[in-house]
Structures are given as structure tokens and as C-alpha cells.
Amino acid sequence: MSTCIAARATCLQTQEPLCRRCMTRAAAAIPRLVYDYRDPEQQLFTYPSQRLDGQPGRSAETPIPLRTDVEALQRSIWWVTTTWAEVLCDHHHLEPPDWLKRTRNGWATQWACGLIAPRTATLMQFAPQQLADYPIDGQGQAVRHQQVSLLEISGARGLLDMAWLHDRARSMLGLTELVRRLPGYCRKCSRPELYQDNGSDTVYCGACQYKMTRDDYERYGNVFLRSAA
């Protein structure tokens, strides 16, 4: 057994690069990245709150300024998803569609997420790939070569990055999900990994994804709350 590369306090021991919880999180995030690219569009522009002051050089035709943080997030979602989709295409000897380089980034993101979503287990096993100008370098490990920034990223790290981008997008929209950890043990796998999303009536196990209603959780509380001994 080894440690999940996410190295979070909630990670489980695993024989794979990612534990079940992190894989489940990434697998759930990838299809949503299509909407994460689209939904911040309404926040892309910062509209002036006051009328123009008539100063020289300013007119009604002055471009509305962009929110660079939203634009950067959208570009990162497009870059990361399409890059890993093309890596998967190479692995499976698939040809990316001819229109991919000519289409809008939103459509390219949709294609990429559709290709990655059913292949997350394969992508998790990929050895580090040397990628140019990768937009996420949280540890400052990129190496500059002439005008290009090179970074070696494994497939498992790519999955974590896509999950992080999903969280970043939801946070930007004010839609961050609140999750409560509950005491007790799962009826199916006996792990103390019970959670409930804020506003939901469903209790689920973060280890095996077993689900039950909150009423069932309360009804069988004596079983769930047994001591570790």
C-alpha cells in the first residue's frame, strides 16, 4: 500500500497513484468542466458603474474591460482538458477531429471532456508527460527552455488538476458545495467515511460510495456509531 499522490489528510491508502476518493472526485468533476467553462461567461466583462467623464480619448466605443481572472480560468480549463484528451488519443491510436483546431474553445472543451470521462482509469496510470506552457504549476517546478516553459505532469496529477479547476470555477460562481462529515461507520465497507452534502437528504460513504437516506442513518445509528474496537 502507498499514499495517494494528492497527499490530503482525507486520502486513503491505495495501490494506485490516486485513492478511490480522489478518483471519484476527479471523475465527477470532468463532465462538469464543460459547464465550468461556459457558466463564468456572464462574469467575463466588468461593466463600468459610472458614465464616461468626457475626457479626451474616451468615447462610447471604449471596449468593455475583461476580467482577466475569468479569462485565465477558461483558458486553463480548455488547455488542460484538450491536452490530456490528445494524449489519450495518441495512446489509443485515435485521430482528433479535423475541426478541433478551428473550433471555439468551448466546443473543444466539450469534445475533450467527453473523451476523457470514460478513460480516467487509463489516464491515471500515465507516466509523466513533458508539456509545454502547462497552466498549473503549483510547486514552481517548470523549467524554462528558450521561450517555452516545460513541466512534467503525470496522468494522475492531470486528473487532480481537472478536479481543482472544477472547484475553482464553482468557487468563482459562489457555488462551492458544503460537505459535512458525519460520525459512524459505513454499513457496506465499515469505514468511518460518512458524509452529507449541505441541503441534501443523502448520506454517502466517501470510501465505497454506498448511499443511504438521513433517516436510515439515524435509524441505524447504534450500528454506525460503534467504537473502532
Whether residue 170 sits in one domain with residue 108: yes
pLDDT of residue 6: 84
Whether residue 126 sits in one domain with residue 163: yes
Q: Confirm whether 55 is domain-assigned.
A: no
Q: Confirm whether 56 is domain-assigned.
A: no
Specify the pTM: 0.68
Whether residue 115 sits in one domain with residue 9: yes
Whether residue 101 sits in one domain with residue 170: yes
Q: Confirm whether 59 is domain-assigned.
A: no
Whether residue 41 sits in one domain with residue 149: yes
Whether residue 18 sits in one domain with residue 101: yes
pLDDT by residue (tens digit) across 77-127? 999 999 999 999 999 999 988 888 888 999 999 999 999 999 999 999 999
Parent domain of 227: 178-229
Whether residue 83 sits in one domain with residue 8: yes
pLDDT by residue (tens digit) across 158-193? 999 999 999 888 887 765 555 677 888 888 877 777
- H, E, C per residue of the chain: CEECCCCCCCCCEECCCCCHHHHHHHHHHHHHHHHHHHHHHHHCECCCCCCCCCCCCCCCCCCCCECHHHHHHHHHHHHHHHHHHHHHHHHHCCCCCHHHHCCCHHHHHHHHHHHHHHHHHHHHCCCCEEEECCCCCCCCCCEEECCEEEEEECHHHHHHHHHHHHHHHHHHCCCCCCEEEECCCCCCCCCCCEEEECCCCEEEECCCCCEEEHHHHHHCHHHHCCCCC
Per the structure, the count of domains in the chain is: 2
Whether residue 195 sits in one domain with residue 119: no
Whether residue 89 sits in one domain with residue 101: yes
